[in-house]
């Protein structure tokens, strides 16, 4: 297949910024640049996007205590790895912090898993999710380290069942519910019975069946009616978004794709998205974003897609 000018520019960009470029590579690149205005324009566009990468927020943001232990990688190191992988012709992924070291149950990209806990409660983990257990004689505690989980709680009047996530908690009142951590925000949706939710600001609220509540690191928001069927549709292989912010959509889709999608302008993250998508085709969401929102997409490597204002 013949390479486009964009493909050629990307290949040169990866090579020259990988730290492994030779003098011969630089001479050949100079000749390629001199061969046409389109070559220079496409290469310049990549340079502008590369500068914007310094401002990219991560839509799969992890809890602060986990992010603090994540090693920082330079952009050159990223491209060096990308160049090596491209040369080898193999696929790879951008990985997060090693929270599997502190989790009791975890899933990988695109993987879902159902586990039965010691008390008989059943937990279904969405893709790229992790939990840690803290069961004591007086408490059944679960920490959601990342991602999303559906809880079907076994009754035990002596020991409350509480899920801790991002500075808040959700205590089951004999129920089935979902706790969803996305972009430093947590949403609790209740399918059956009720849940007592406490936010980081110490405010609390009782969330009943058919309702949800969201909190972030600062405050607990008001309880609202929810389409719980949509909130648990991932268990049936669907991602359903109804007027959801792009930041949430990217956090969900990134759990099902090898690699990650980032934005160069944080204002894009507040755009609204609606649609029904198959978890087996996460790129279908990317295509919908590309065609329905004023954004341009740039695939800087097989593992990194950039969304840029159109």
Taking only the tens place, the pLDDT of each residue in 258-277 is 878 888 788 889 999 888 88
Same-domain status, 214 and 247: no
CATH number at residue 37: 3.55.50.30
Give the C-alpha distances (Å, rounded to integers) separating 56 from 10, 132, 216, 239, 308: 19, 29, 20, 25, 10
Task: List own/partner pairs for 224-229 with CB under 8 A and 24 or more apart.
Answer: 226/189, 226/190, 228/178, 228/189, 228/190, 228/191
Same-domain status, 195 and 121: yes
Same-domain status, 77 and 116: no
Cβ atoms within 10 Å, residue 259: 19
Same-domain status, 68 and 110: no
The mean predicted confidence, pLDDT, of the chain is 81
Q: What pLDDT, on a 0 to 100 scale, did the predictor assign at position 291?
A: 86
Q: Which of 171, 193, 228 is the last residue of a domain?
A: 228
Q: What pLDDT, on a 0 to 100 scale, did the predictor assign at position 121?
A: 97
Q: Which of 200, 228, 256 is the last residue of a domain?
A: 228
What's the number of domains the chain is made of?
A: 2
Range(s) of the domain holding residue 270: 5-90+237-309
Same-domain status, 114 and 194: yes
SS3 string, 151-211, reads: EECCCCCCCCEEEEECCEEEEECCCEEEEEEECCEEEEEEEECEEEEECCCCCEEEEECCE
Which has more confidence, 107 or 291?
Answer: 107
pLDDT in tens, 285-302: 888 888 888 988 887 776
Look at residue 49 and tell me whether its pLDDT is greater than 70. no
Same-domain status, 62 and 35: yes
Same-domain status, 40 and 151: no
Same-domain status, 63 and 151: no
Using pLDDT thresholds of 50, 70 and 90, give the confidence band for residue 101.
Answer: low
Using pLDDT thresholds of 50, 70 and 90, give the confidence band for residue 150.
Answer: very high
Same-domain status, 169 and 193: yes
CATH number at residue 198: 2.60.120.1440
Using pLDDT thresholds of 50, 70 and 90, give the confidence band for residue 66.
Answer: very low
Q: Which of 228, 258, 285 is the last residue of a domain?
A: 228
Tokens standing for residue 142? 């679960």
pTM value > 0.75: no
Look at residue 71 and tell me whether its pLDDT is greater than 50. no
Map residue 23 onto helix, strand or coil.
helix
Same-domain status, 42 and 122: no
Contact 212, 190 (CB under 8 A): yes
């Amino acid at each position: 297949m013949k390479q486009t000018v964009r493909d050629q520019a990307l290949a040169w960009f990866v090579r020259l910024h990988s730290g492994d470029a030779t003098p011969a590579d630089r001479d050949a690149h100079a000749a390629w640049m001199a061969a046409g205005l389109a070559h220079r324009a496409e290469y310049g566009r990549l340079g502008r996007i590369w500068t914007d990468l310094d401002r990219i927020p991560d839509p799969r943001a992890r809890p602060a205590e986990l992010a603090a232990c994540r090693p920082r990688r330079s952009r050159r190191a990223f491209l060096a790895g990308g160049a090596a992988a491209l040369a080898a012709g193999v696929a790879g992924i951008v990985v997060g912090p090693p929270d599997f070291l502190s989790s009791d149950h975890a899933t990988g990209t695109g993987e879902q898993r159902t586990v039965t806990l010691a008390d008989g409660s059943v937990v279904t983990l969405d893709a790229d999710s992790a939990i840690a257990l803290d069961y004591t004689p007086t408490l059944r505690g679960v920490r959601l380290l990342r991602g999303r989980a559906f809880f079907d709680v076994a009754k035990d009047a002596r020991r409350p069942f509480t899920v801790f996530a991002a500075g808040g908690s959700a205590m089951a009142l004999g129920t089935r519910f979902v706790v969803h951590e996305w972009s430093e925000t947590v949403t609790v949706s209740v399918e059956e019975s009720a849940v007592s939710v406490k936010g980081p600001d110490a405010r609390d609220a009782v969330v009943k069946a058919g309702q949800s509540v969201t909190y972030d690191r600062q405050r607990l928001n008001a309880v609202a009616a929810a389409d719980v069927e949509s909130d648990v549709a991932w268990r049936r292989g669907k991602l359903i978004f109804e007027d959801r912010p792009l930041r949430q959509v990217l956090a969900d889709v990134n759990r099902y794709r090898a690699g990650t999608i980032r934005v160069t302008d944080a204002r894009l993250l507040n755009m609204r998205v609606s649609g029904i998508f198959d978890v087996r085709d996460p790129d279908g969401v990317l295509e919908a974003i590309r065609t329905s929102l004023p954004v341009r997409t740039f695939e800087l490597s097989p593992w990194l897609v950039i969304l840029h204002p159109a």
